């Protein structure tokens, strides 16, 4: 995420990152959704105090929490960007409930790696076709963290810089 934040800033986007309390405490188990939402809202509100528009974005659970903030709680995001949306829980086979995503009227950009078990591209594409303003961008050979095998011939930095470029292009159009 640090590399992505750096590339997004280089592309001209104002960025802000934060950690949830469980991460700061060094715990593996996430906090309950209410606490995650409160922290996410505080960070988003802080950024909105300095910027006219805010796009909520996040990696995996961060994107999911942002989507609940916008969808369930109506936070005024200009759009949402998901870097590996965790549609399928770890170890699970069935997609999570995504009813809240249908409440989001602004654009939603999903990045999905072709090797992502938590956000399989076929399931992400099927979800996106039923959302009002969703776009799916595929990362060939990418896993949930967009790491690609050496045979792909691309470095992690090249992948992340491409994600930032594609994000900036999408934000510029929306």
Cβ-Cβ contacts under 8 Å for 37 (sequence gap 6 or more): 65, 68, 69, 73
Mean pLDDT in residue range 32-58: 97
Cβ count near 57 (within 10 Å): 26
Cβ atoms of 47 and 63 closer than 8 Å: no
Above 80 in pLDDT, residue 147? yes
- Nearest-5° angle of CA 70, CA 170, CA 130? 55
Can you give the pTM of this predicted structure?
Answer: 0.96
Average pLDDT, the chain: 96
Q: What is the pLDDT of residues 76-120, one digit of tens each?
A: 999 999 999 999 999 888 999 999 999 999 999 999 999 999 999
* Side-chain half-sphere CA neighbours of 23 within 13 A: 9
| Phi/psi of residue 83, nearest 5 degrees | -100, 90
Q: How confident is the model at residue 173 (pLDDT cuts 50, 70, 90)?
A: confident
Residue-range domains of the chain with CATH: 2-173 (3.40.50.1820)
In this prediction, residue 93 carries a pLDDT of 86
pLDDT of residue 45: 98
Check residue 4 and report its DSSP letter: H
Please write down the long-range contacts of 58-61, taking CB distance under 8 Å and 24 or more positions apart.
Answer: 58/82, 58/83, 59/1, 59/4, 59/83, 59/84, 59/145, 60/84, 60/85, 60/86, 60/118, 60/144, 61/30, 61/36, 61/86
């Amino acid at each position: 995420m640090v590399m992505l934040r750096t590339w997004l800033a280089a592309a001209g986007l104002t960025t802000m990152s934060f950690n949830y309390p469980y991460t700061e405490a060094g715990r593996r188990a996430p906090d309950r959704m209410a606490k995650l939402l409160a922290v996410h809202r505080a960070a988003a509100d802080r950024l909105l105090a300095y910027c006219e528009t805010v796009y909520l974005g996040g990696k995996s659970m961060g994107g999911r929490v942002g989507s609940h903030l916008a969808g369930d709680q109506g936070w005024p995001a200009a759009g949402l960007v998901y870097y590996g949306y965790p549609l399928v829980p770890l170890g699970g086979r069935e997609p999570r409930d995504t009813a809240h995503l249908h409440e989001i009227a602004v654009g939603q950009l999903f990045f999905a790696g072709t090797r992502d078990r938590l956000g399989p591209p076929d399931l992400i594409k099927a979800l996106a076709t039923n959302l009002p303003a969703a776009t799916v961008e595929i990362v060939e050979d990418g896993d949930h963290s967009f790491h690609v095998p050496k045979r792909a011939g691309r470095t992690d930095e090249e992948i992340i810089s491409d994600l930032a470029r594609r994000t900036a292009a999408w934000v510029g159009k929306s």
